[in-house]
Amino acid sequence: MSGPLLCEGRVVVVTGAGRGLGRAHARAYAAEGARVVVNDLGVGPDGTPGPDSPAGQVVDEIRSAGGTAVAHGGDVATTEGAASLVRTALETYGRLDTLVNNAGFLRDRMLVNLEEDDWDAVMRVHLKGHFLPLKHAAAYWRAEAKAGRPPRARVVNTSSGAGLLGSVGQGNYSAAKAGVVGLTLVAAAELGRYGVQVNAVAPAARTRMTEGVFAAAMAAPDGGSFDVMAPENVSPLVVWLGSAASAGVTGRVFEAEGGRITVMEGWRAGPGVDKGARWTPAEAGDAALKLLAGAEVPGAVYGVE
């Protein structure tokens, strides 16, 4: 590759980086010159422990390609695991520049069959697993800024189309991924003063989590060499967002699939009316129907025929 590498000298943490999107992100960052902390707990798609963590395998792949990486096997949905993740970056490489929150799994059920444990488990890994690494990384960056060393820090969170539109059979996952968007917006607003930019991506790619949900769309197109659903297609945007080159971009959500990148535009005020006094229920209903007649129709929930 000619020219400077996009992430030369940066230290990047990627959670859930043993497989799928996280693995692709870690390898892409390393290829752009970053020193990478590869986090993976080594669990199955449903969050239960697996026999061996793949984080070390990804580290070996990066090092074999001439890159620099270290493995971390802690549970980032715990305070100690998240704290040790940041500590690993600081103790190994002396700094932390970018956090990519990617870890997650599925416990899909229709709402009437969704158990409380399934709800809690998915919320824990997706929301708490985003919050805790972000909290500990932000504490480090705030301390750096207050010490007169303002960082050019970046956070890339992982949402989903399910979090933006909803997905039948994934009430817990959709709610968690919508929560990731809310967390992204708040973090971008709170941490900007310390030199931290926070964005989110909603990827569509072939991973262990998605192969059962979008099986019909997972295969590479016949007669072409471009695998539209390869997780590596999402990584270039994630790498750019995690680099210093993305200066000024914060509090945004991007959808990435194949060769397509879309800026997602979230909730904003549509048609409205103000009576200037309290409505009766019938009046409120009439007003709501008139407003809906002039409002945009929302996108269809995934899985609705």
Does 219 reside within a domain? yes
Characterize 193-229 residue by residue with b for buried, 16 or more Cβ atoms within 10 angstroms of its Cβ, and e for exposed.
ebbbbbbbbbbbbbbebbeebbeeebeeeeeeeebbb
Whether the pLDDT of residue 59 is over 50: the answer is yes
Tens digits of residue pLDDT in 83-108: 999 999 999 999 999 999 999 888 88
Q: Which of 53, 160, 243, 246 is catalytic?
A: 160
Active site (annotated) includes residue 160: yes
Residue 2 pLDDT:
59
Highest mean pLDDT (candidates 49-63, 76-90, 98-112): 76-90
% of residues, the chain, pLDDT over 90: 80
Whether the pLDDT of residue 285 is over 50: the answer is yes
Which residue is it, tokens 């926070």?
198
> CB–CB of 304/168 below 8 Å?
yes
Does 111 reside within a domain? yes
Does 278 reside within a domain? no
Span 246-259, mean pLDDT? Answer: 96
Structural domain of 248? 11-264
Does 250 reside within a domain? yes
Whether the pLDDT of residue 217 is over 50: the answer is no
Active site (annotated) includes residue 177: yes
Q: Across the chain, what does the average pLDDT equal? A: 91
Does 66 reside within a domain? yes
Does 69 reside within a domain? yes
Residue 130 or 298, more confident: 130
Does 290 reside within a domain? no
Task: Say which CATH number the domain at 250 has.
Answer: 3.40.50.720
Q: Which of 93, 173, 194, 302 is catalytic?
A: 173
Does 293 reside within a domain? no
Q: Which of 42, 44, 74 is nearest to 58 (CA)?
A: 42
Residue 221 pLDDT:
47
Active site (annotated) includes residue 302: no
Q: Which of 93, 167, 177, 235 is catalytic?
A: 177
Number of domains forming the structure of the chain:
1
* Residue 218 pLDDT grade (very low, low, confident, very high; cuts 50, 70, 90): very low
